[in-house]
Each structure stands twice: as C-alpha cells, then as structure tokens.
C-alpha cells in the first residue's frame, strides 16, 4: 500500500514536517480527515456561527453536510498517522502508519513508528520537544 500525500491542508487534521539534527533524517507526517459514515463528506470540528472558523476546543467532530457527530475520543481512535521518512540512524527512506495517539517514548509523548530498515523506533514529538537524555 502506498501512502498518498494530501493535496491541501484542508484535507488534514494534523500535519508536520521535521528534520533531525544528525545524518539528514527527516519526517513528513499527516492525519487525513475521516469521511462521514452517513453521507461521505469529510468530517471536522464544528464551525463557530459568528466567525465561520472551527471551534478548536470542541469535544466532538461533526459532518458539515448532514450534521452527524462523533465524540472526539471515538473519532481520533479510528484515525492513523501516515508518515514519509528518511531514518536518521540508517538512512533508509520509507513510509509507515501508526495510530493517532501519543504514547510515551524516551520520556516524552510522541507518535511512535518503527524504521523499516534498521528496526529502531522513531518518535514524532510535539514541536521543539527533545527526548530526555539518559544519565
């Protein structure tokens, strides 16, 4: 299965592009919006009536066409992070998918996947967050 890069940021819930300090490793990761099970439109956060922008802190996702809604927890558990990467350890270029849930990795919350070349775990942390150093 090949991963298809999104054409627009409007198709994504999450998108990041990162570079590692060592050995030219890089990551491009995104989570595409889920389609509505009733009408097939892309679901997203509900829109604010005054501004027309999505409500960032809303605790549910809603289809703009048919108003079908799902809780945030239920919706996000069904999504996957799609990743194009070049491993910082072995230089292997590949693609991977992992669950859209941050887990503890080297003391920091991150989306974790395994390199297809060397098998090492690689984490996508929040912006500018460093893994904790071992003493």
Residuewise pLDDT in 10s, the chain (135 residues): 578 888 888 889 999 998 877 668 899 999 999 999 888 899 988 888 888 888 888 899 999 889 899 999 999 899 999 999 998 888 889 999 999 999 998 888 999 999 988 889 998 888 767 777 665
Distance CA 54, CA 9 (A): 14
Residues 88 and 23 in one domain: yes
Residues 115 and 134 in one domain: yes
* Global pTM exceeds 0.85: no
Residues 92 and 128 in one domain: yes
Q: Which domain holds residue 46?
A: 35-78
Instruction: State how many domains the chain has.
Output: 2
Distance CA 101, CA 34 (A): 15
Residues 114 and 70 in one domain: no
Residues 1 and 19 in one domain: yes
Residues 133 and 95 in one domain: yes
Residues 86 and 67 in one domain: no
With a CB cutoff of 8 Å and minimum separation 6, the contacts of 17 are 26, 27, 28
Residues 73 and 41 in one domain: yes
Distance CA 28, CA 86 (A): 9
Residues 6 and 53 in one domain: no
Residues 25 and 48 in one domain: no
């Amino acid at each position: 299965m090949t991963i298809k890069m999104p054409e627009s940021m409007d198709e994504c819930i999450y998108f990041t592009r990162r570079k590692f300090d060592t050995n030219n490793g890089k990551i491009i990761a995104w989570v595409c919006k889920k389609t509505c099970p009733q009408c097939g439109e892309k679901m997203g956060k509900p829109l604010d009536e005054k501004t027309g922008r999505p409500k960032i802190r809303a605790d549910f996702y809603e289809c703009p066409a048919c108003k079908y809604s799902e809780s945030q927890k239920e919706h996000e558990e069904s999504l996957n992070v799609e990743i194009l990467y070049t491993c910082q350890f072995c230089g292997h270029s590949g693609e991977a998918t992992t669950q859209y849930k941050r887990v503890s990795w080297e003391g920091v919350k991150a989306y974790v996947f395994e390199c297809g070349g060397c098998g090492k775990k690689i984490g996508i942390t929040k912006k500018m967050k460093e893994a904790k150093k071992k003493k």
